[in-house]
Amino acid sequence: GAVVSQHPSWVICKSGTSVKIECRSLDFQATTMFWYRQFPKQSLMLMATSNEGSKATYEQGVEKDKFLINHASLTLSTLTVTSAHPEDSSFYICSARKGSNQPQHFGDGTRLSIL
Amino acid sequence: AQKVTQAQTEISVVEKEDVTLDCVYETRDTTYYLFWYKQPPSGELVFLIRRNSFDEQNEISGRYSWNFQKSTSSFNFTITASQVVDSAVYFCALSEARGLTGGGNKLTFGTGTQLKVEL
């Protein structure tokens, strides 16, 4: 159990486009989901923590108007990169947790390339 | 502030060799969790282990073993008889814990160790 699906796996789009990434917990209800960003050969940096039905908590330095997070249900969270620019190109990965005493399980990630 | 240090950027071994990946952490919390994740070339993160700060017993799972030393703030990971399929980036991570049962909130990751296992 504890399968997390992320879609799309990769996306290439033009500068100025908004891109939506979905994160779904397939076989469990996730009270909390997390969004990370990873640059090539670097570690994962937490962008925001998302609790179902409430506003996401963003890490310092992450623009909430740039990276819109919606966690409308216990199995789905979305990250929308608005008006994406080449510097937004990165590997975005989500994770989901069943409850406060459970480890995070990660999706397969989304490779975003902005031209 | 929490910090995780993985001093080994890259390790190369020959198949069947044993290899230990180091992890040193810093935290002011008395209750915390430590994790190891594997990230193969495909990109997904695979959960390997979670260890509570109160439990210093070493753990073995097949060819994998973990050595938690609270006195040195280390949580090292050993792969015995390494295989080519073990080639990946391995991340050590730390999370705060809320009370005695909290599973932690934010994960602080180390910079990862790239393990290459060659034939």
Q: What is the spatial distance between Cα B113 and Cα B85, in angstroms, rounded to a whole number?
A: 15
Chain A contact set for B37 (CB, 8 A):
106
* Tokens 């923590």 sit on residue: A49
Chain A residue nearest residue B47, CA to CA? A105
- Single-letter code of the amino acid located at A15: S
Q: What is the pLDDT of residues B39-72, one digit of tens each?
A: 998 888 998 998 989 888 888 999 999 999 999 9
Whether the link from the prior residue into A86 is cis, omega within 30° of 0, is no
pLDDT, residue B104, reads: 45
Interchain contact, A44 vs B47, CB within 8 Å: no
Tell me which H or E stretch contains A64: none
A112 touches chain B (CB under 8 A): no
pLDDT, residue B102, reads: 39
B107 touches chain A (CB under 8 A): yes
pLDDT, residue A9, reads: 94
End-to-end CA distance of chain B: 41
Interchain contact, B37 vs A107, CB within 8 Å: no
Does residue B103 have a pLDDT over 90? no
pLDDT, residue B64, reads: 96
Q: Which of residues 32-51 of B touch A (CB under 8 A)?
A: 33, 35, 37, 42-47, 50
Distance from CA of A76 to the nearest CA of B (A): 18
pLDDT, residue B99, reads: 45
Interchain contact, B103 vs A102, CB within 8 Å: yes
CA neighbor of B88 nearest in space, from B101, B79, B99 = B79
Across residues B24-53, what is the average pLDDT?
91
Does residue B115 have a pLDDT over 90? yes
pLDDT, residue B70, reads: 93
B44 alpha carbon, distance to own chain's centre: 16
Q: What is the pLDDT of residues B72-102, one digit of tens each?
A: 999 999 999 999 999 999 999 998 775 444 3
Query: For chain A, which ranges sit under pLDDT 50?
Result: none
